[in-house]
Structure 1
């Protein structure tokens, strides 16, 4: 090979373009890949945890690529592991009875196939549509509903809308009552569903600045400046900031991934997380009518959050002193591709970190908080998802999802209103739906042997010891096995979970720990025997804990696309392995419950949801006590008040 491979400084550095090019070239050459093959994904084959944790600067680094391929002609899926160093294939395996995620070029080819289909064209004409270029066809994953005619096929459902011009909001005019099924291997329409003709809504749904009649004129500039530059330093994909050391990566399926997160406490680098990522997300809809009743998109496993990442823009997506990172991926032909500025890193002011006023001496001590933000944003069809990891000076870690974009829509007849959604505009319905995100947290508090403790609070009994009836007690219970650790949020007991290291005690004699501080959440409303509950079983509980297994990465299994279900967490926990003082993985499911409203149209204001990891006995005291005071500004009368 003539490709020059640049040496990396750590085994977890993401594959670069040269490595991707070499890996795909090796496969093309050794397996004589023809045009019927598509490269679904090319990612770093991560070395073992033991290799990573024992790695020292200067040690040899052996690089491998993990590749998923799809042969459209033979309708087969393959997995390959390629040695970058040896330029050879280490593994080549046919994976039967699976469908990998839908690729970006498949989306575009599918849309064109629908527009070119004679039966669909006739259906468009029946609705008065002659200019097919203005038709917008969104391919949706087909799911698995036990239909014999779909068994073994690679299928997408296409739902259609009509634009008035190229840059119009296409989702304003759904072509309801009509949709098509496409065989993605052959790129042929195999079924057209044509029901009643429903008039197109009249509202244009325009939202761009050019289309708004009058923009606000009273907003003054807001600038964030750091004259001396940011406080973080970067070495490849490793960040050092305010005692934090954070390694991160990026891949086409999970997008942004955290690796080996630690905090320097009194000179000791203390590990907290080995790996953290969005393992899966699913969006079940609550409308029983076609085609919405099959809208159950797995945005990680079926589409790839990383593949759909945006190129971020300074002053719009990110504000301040920004460091950007590119994402290196591949197209379906195996050619390296780059998403410029896919990852954003910056600092933010976050209000008061801590404060106290001594009213006797009138001395004021206050520290301002700042946080480090590491983020990416992906567009999945109509929706946008922002994924933000925040690190705080007091040892807190927060993950936040920001949901925005345009709602999925359907048309209804004049005067009609759906039971299963709300009118966004006249004749335009926004079906009710939910968003469930599952986070995989490979914990490593002061070492790989950890446990999970559930804490429930209850009122103390009445009696002489509790004369005013005000006492309450937080009771702890260590979860011992995987089945015991299938748990749900309970507001009545203020339930929370904390990860501890039972082998490491703090200075008051308790195990060091981090608390999983839950935020907004929901339960699924689909019936237990519904297809989506079988395929996304992780929705069934908010907390899962498993014993570490390098092969168990995705909560709904490796290949959720069109899978009948039962894979992932519900299958793994049947082993009922011990999770007490073991190398464990915590899986947290959070749900956003979206009952639609007119204010969500034509573009949805951002909704926020997430969780935090907060130290509980991990530090001797407030770890941010040494943050220096800011310099006073303005009319402050105290030397340390800002």
Structure 2
């Protein structure tokens, strides 16, 4: 064994006792991981690191360590390796504490492949340039291999026998007129190619129709296309002269009554750990872990060159690899705290993305306000939120993932979508003049296929502890009856989700459907279970037929909610190895044993989505679009937890019981005038 690797491992063991069990892997720890792995017998110079991430200890071990009842859990990393020469992939867990390989298994491809490597993708241009069939297909369109850029895309799984055991990508071509020309404006449509990355050969070319390559520029960064700058916009400056209200200790954050830990994983991106809210001096747990466990972008064009388009950006591409380095004043404005992201590159060396995570406060309008008609009291408080976000660019799309914490205990998660829509040649309208039914025309001859973005949030909830239940709550309209003679009554229904097999639920805006995560142990002062309520956005679930390949692989997208008992091995909604998985991984496996869910340690799998019928305004770059959900306290507190938020100060405009307010009261209901008082409490004349 390399002596330097032993030294680094020894240093890591000395530090293990002071590293929080949920802390993101550091650069030094990634070096240690590589040192351990490099001594495995099958490690060669052709071995590439597909994934390195923290193997989080089980929840009970973390709790025992925090309470002082047990030593720090063994600090471990999960490592996926792929040998470019032999084609062998492995899934291993190594111990940073002991320097040993804890376990390892071969990933044989029958239940999915490791994600596509950049190293593999870089070889595709050379493979295609030497393939006579591909060169000829381009020539029939007046193009050479030097005229086009290739977009390698995940293959999915369609039961093709000749693809069994292979690492397949499917590729589309785009013409590029010069190095700074944005390729998305010029799809070379009617043509696609399937490649095997293991053998480095073309498997099949699908050449169905020759389209004219759309010629209009999509260079949104060209001043001529942008037009004259908009005049009249004055600067907006956001300042906090006394600094931000949050405090930071490593990855631990305190803000207002909130406490939490940040984390980063190259597959899941931003992770929030151990969210709690201080209530009368007690830090009450709300959510143990929140992350985006998976997302899928399925396209709805059934043409021979595009029917296979669906991308699991987390599981197939590890979108954390493409995290942006954020710039002050461009991506984040105000008093900003940045956090770097650290992950392993394909050679196992630490890669640091500076300013990957942005945290700041935002004013959010009125928190609460009332002008009382009888007392003249006039009170208002300003709301603010803590914003924690990161951006990643996956091919044509840019995704921002934003978590918001509010002073009243509300949690919100928002996915922001921008970038460039994936383009096609527009086939033209039908003979009867109706538009092509599966894509929008967004520029002359340029199409954008209909598609969806489905995000799955894994929400490991701990509402006042680990004994919880999820209730489905609907608004109920009541008919006229003896007890409702005037027909004005309505009520709500609440029913527990009792087991995993029946936990798949769909939002229903007509019923105002929400899901309540309630403690089965704790109550508020009125005897009501303390709880939070998940407010979904009522958007379409996965639009594909249930028998389709993507529906089998993205079962999580068929419902807005699934609920499972906590299992540390159940981390990703579509399963561990998504690339070329035949289907049935993730959620179907998690709920198969139909464990009971009342009074248990629960995980919610919530899909929130955007269905996109592109419009002309989305070209040549798409204005921001949004998908979101909200978690709100419901009987969690005994009363409004923001009563003690100070009144706005400094401008002199928010004085309680102003003369203007009293004038409004006097002219309203004829209230006794001595109820109107000045700012110091004395009656107004």
What's the TM-score once normalised by structure 2's chain length? 0.90
Q: CA deviation at 1:601?
A: 0.7
Q: CA deviation at 1:341?
A: 1.2
Distance 2:82 2:208 in 1: 34
**Equivalence for 1:108:** 122
Segment drifting more, 96-105 vs 56-65: 56-65
Select the residue among 252, 273, 289 that pairs with 1:238. 252
Select the residue among 21, 24, 49 that pairs with 1:39. 49
**Equivalence for 1:303:** 317
Query: CA distance change for structure 1 residues 520 and 204 in 2, over 3 Å: closer, same or farther?
Result: farther
**Equivalence for 1:14:** 24
Distance 1:57 1:316 in 2: 43
Q: CA deviation at 1:36?
A: 2.5
Q: Determine if contact 1:134/1:166 at 8 Å carries over to the other structure.
A: no
Distance 1:530 1:79 in 2: 29
Between the two proteins, the alignment pairs up a number of residues equal to: 641
Query: CA distance change for structure 1 residues 265 and 205 in 2, over 3 Å: closer, same or farther?
Result: same
**Equivalence for 1:154:** 167
Q: CA deviation at 1:361?
A: 4.1
2:217 is the alignment partner of 1:204: yes
Deviations 1:466-491 (A, max 9, x none): 23211101111111111222111122
Q: CA deviation at 1:105?
A: 3.2
2:480 is the alignment partner of 1:462: yes
**Equivalence for 2:682:** none
**Equivalence for 1:165:** 178
Select the residue among 544, 555, 570 that pairs with 1:537. 555
Distance 2:257 2:67 in 1: 20
Deviations 1:394-436 (A, max 9, x none): 0000000001110111113566752211100010011101111
Deviations 1:145-178 (A, max 9, x none): 1111111110111111112221222100000012
Structure showing greater Rg:
2
Q: Determine if contact 2:238/2:334 at 8 Å carries over to the other structure.
A: yes
Once superposed, what is the RMSD of the aligned Cα atoms?
2.0
Unaligned runs of 5+ in 2: 662-678, 680-685
2:577 is the alignment partner of 1:559: yes
Select the residue among 43, 49, 62 that pairs with 1:52. 62
Q: CA deviation at 1:134?
A: 4.4
2:406 is the alignment partner of 1:392: yes
Select the residue among 119, 135, 139 that pairs with 2:133. 119
**Equivalence for 1:624:** 642
Q: Determine if contact 1:418/1:429 at 8 Å carries over to the other structure.
A: no
Q: CA deviation at 1:248?
A: 1.7
Alignment of 1:47-446 (within 5 A): 47-56=57-66, 59-60=71-72, 62-97=74-109, 98-130=112-144, 132-208=145-221, 210-211=223-224, 212-412=226-426, 417-446=435-464
Deviations 1:286-315 (A, max 9, x none): 110032210011111101121121111111
Query: CA distance change for structure 1 residues 335 and 428 in 2, over 3 Å: closer, same or farther?
Result: same
**Equivalence for 1:593:** 611
Distance 1:404 1:428 in 2: 19
Q: CA deviation at 1:86?
A: 2.0
**Equivalence for 1:499:** 517
3-state secondary structure, aligned to 1:30: coil
Q: Determine if contact 2:380/2:654 at 8 Å carries over to the other structure.
A: no
Distance 2:354 2:42 in 1: 31
Distance 2:416 2:130 in 1: 37
Q: CA deviation at 1:445?
A: 0.7
**Equivalence for 2:672:** none
Deviations 1:582-639 (A, max 9, x none): 1111111122111111111111111111101000000011111111011152766658
Deviations 1:316-360 (A, max 9, x none): 111111111111111111121111111111111111111111234
Select the residue among 560, 568, 573 that pairs with 1:550. 568
Deviations 1:344-384 (A, max 9, x none): 11111111111111234443211111100111111111111
Segment drifting more, 518-527 vs 407-416: 407-416
Q: Determine if contact 2:157/2:549 at 8 Å carries over to the other structure.
A: yes
Distance 2:64 2:330 in 1: 41
Distance 1:31 1:369 in 2: 58
Segment drifting more, 518-527 vs 602-611: 518-527
Q: Determine if contact 1:298/1:560 at 8 Å carries over to the other structure.
A: yes
**Equivalence for 1:512:** 530
3-state secondary structure, aligned to 1:483: helix
Q: CA deviation at 1:558?
A: 0.8
Unaligned runs of 5+ in 1: none
Q: CA deviation at 1:115?
A: 4.1
Query: CA distance change for structure 1 residues 635 and 582 in 2, over 3 Å: closer, same or farther?
Result: closer
